[in-house]
Amino acid sequence: MAIPDPGIAPSGSAGPSGRPRVLSGVQPTGALHLGNWLGAIRNWVDLQDSHDTFFCVVDLHAITVPHEPARLAEDTLSTAALYLACGIDPQRSTVFVQSHVSAHSELCWLLNCVTPLNWLERMIQFKEKALKQGADVSAGLLDYPVLMAADILLYDADRVPVGEDQKQHLELARDIAQQRINARFAPRDGEGEPMPILKVPEPPILREGARVMSLTDGRSKMSKSDPNEGSRIALLDPPELISRKIKRAKTDPQMGLEFGNPERPEADNLLGLYALLAGRSREAATAECAAMGWGTFKPLLAEAAVAALAPLQQRYRELRRDPRYLSEVLQQGRERAGNVAEATLERVRQALGFLPPT
């Protein structure tokens, strides 16, 4: 199947028809789960109508913790296929693999050299992951948010739709662009006004689903790295497994589901999941489930989860049957992304004073 080029503008903050830009990505580490979908990918879909959208599979981020080389390529393909299965349309969006566009690594290096070390040392996710890894923490793990800043800034992104756990990283990207590049290196125009080099993205806007919690502990985030698979629902889990995980999900001794009771994080999380998966407002979900026991609620939630994931799983299977199509999508994505990224990188190289090659 041929993929028409939507005509991405080579540089500047707006794409074709002056639309604002969006950039986001997911790491190809393990199976993507409901948190990744509800907190991020699902919100990308609607933005395709109003924005010039770039979605990358961030494989360079995936090696900041120990990884299995034999799985990386397959996980990268599977993540890209899931983007499409979730409704990302390659005719309207640029879908690509981060490591295929070398500008990401190069801009990361340039940004490294202006980013204070203590900005990175105070990143919550670094501290949490470093604690888990003990002595084996790589420099890449510390540097992870700078690479993420490079991802965002290369595309002059206006909006970066992410879940709550990435909020601090997005703020860091804003600070690097504003305080460390534009404030220090922006050239002046004829009137002496600074001409910004990098676009500063908008602050994070968090939507419902921005923090999906674990099924086994309503106080911790649903995460790919939790060793207990029962803590998360993977997007490709078969229906029986989804039902089993929900059946075993942690509950509390109280009857009735409710939002906002700090003593009942599991009720809050599972009711929130039900509202999102069944397409109900929070009020409607509360009205429906306020008097329900867990024994009635859980099958209802399982049914909603299975029904919400079925079309996505079907599309995923179809896409994986056509590897040529997926590889064409990624090849075209690489070209489009590469053009935009290279133009931004060149602006930064020039502003930092590098000798151009002859």
- Please say if 221 is a catalytic residue: yes
Q: Which one among 9, 47, 58, 123 touches ligand TYM, defined by CB under 6 A? A: 58
- For 291-341, give the DSSP string: T--HHHHHHHHHHHHHHHHHHHHHHHHHHHT-HHHHHHHHHHHHHHHHHHH
- Give residue 55's Cα distance to chain centre: 9
Cα separations (Å) of 349 from 110, 147, 197, 331, 337? 8, 17, 10, 26, 18
8 Å CB contact between 15 and 21: yes
Cα–Cα distance, 264 to 277 (Å, whole number): 20
| Residue 173 or 302 with smaller CB distance to ligand TYM | 173
Find the binding residues for ligand TYM in span 305-344 (CB under 6 A): none
| Residue 25 or 196 with smaller CB distance to ligand TYM | 25
Cα–Cα distance, 293 to 289 (Å, whole number): 8
Is residue 210 at the binding interface for ligand TYM, with CB under 6 A as the rule?
A: yes
Q: Which one among 53, 166, 182, 269 touches ligand TYM, defined by CB under 6 A? A: 166
Q: Which one among 15, 30, 35, 272 touches ligand TYM, defined by CB under 6 A? A: 35
Q: Which one among 36, 48, 53, 78 touches ligand TYM, defined by CB under 6 A? A: 36
The first and second tokens of residue 262, run together, are 């700090």
Alpha-carbon dihedral sign for residues 333, 335, 341, 344: negative
- Which residue type, as a one-letter code, is found at position 211? R
Find the binding residues for ligand TYM in span 124-163 (CB under 6 A): 148, 151-152, 160, 162-163
Is residue 218 at the binding interface for ligand TYM, with CB under 6 A as the rule?
A: no
- Which residue type, as a one-letter code, is found at position 23? L
| Residue 47 or 210 with smaller CB distance to ligand TYM | 210
Sheet containing 93-97, strands listed edge to edge, beginning at the edge strand earlier in sequence:
21-26, 52-57, 93-97
- Please say if 167 is a catalytic residue: no
Cα–Cα distance, 187 to 207 (Å, whole number): 37
3-state secondary structure of 53: strand
Is residue 201 at the binding interface for ligand TYM, with CB under 6 A as the rule?
A: no
8 Å CB contact between 150 and 111: yes
Least distance to ligand TYM, CB of residue 40, Å: 4
21-26 and 52-57: which strand pairing?
parallel
Is residue 27 at the binding interface for ligand TYM, with CB under 6 A as the rule?
A: yes
Is residue 277 at the binding interface for ligand TYM, with CB under 6 A as the rule?
A: no
Least distance to ligand TYM, CB of residue 135, Å: 23
- Please say if 245 is a catalytic residue: no
Backbone φ and ψ for 331, nearest 5 degrees, come out as -70, -45
| Residue 142 or 186 with smaller CB distance to ligand TYM | 142
Give the x/- contact pattern for ligand TYM in 59-98, rule: CB under 6 A: --x-------------------------------------
Closest CA to 82 of 129, 25, 139: 25
Q: Which window, 19-27, 109-117, 133-141, 257-265, contacts ligand TYM (CB under 6 A)?
A: 19-27
| Residue 162 or 301 with smaller CB distance to ligand TYM | 162
The DSSP output letter for 233 is -
Residues serving a catalytic function are 129, 221, 224
* Binding residues for ligand TYM (CB under 6 A): 23-27, 35-36, 39-40, 58, 61, 148, 151-152, 160, 162-163, 165-166, 169, 210-212, 221-222
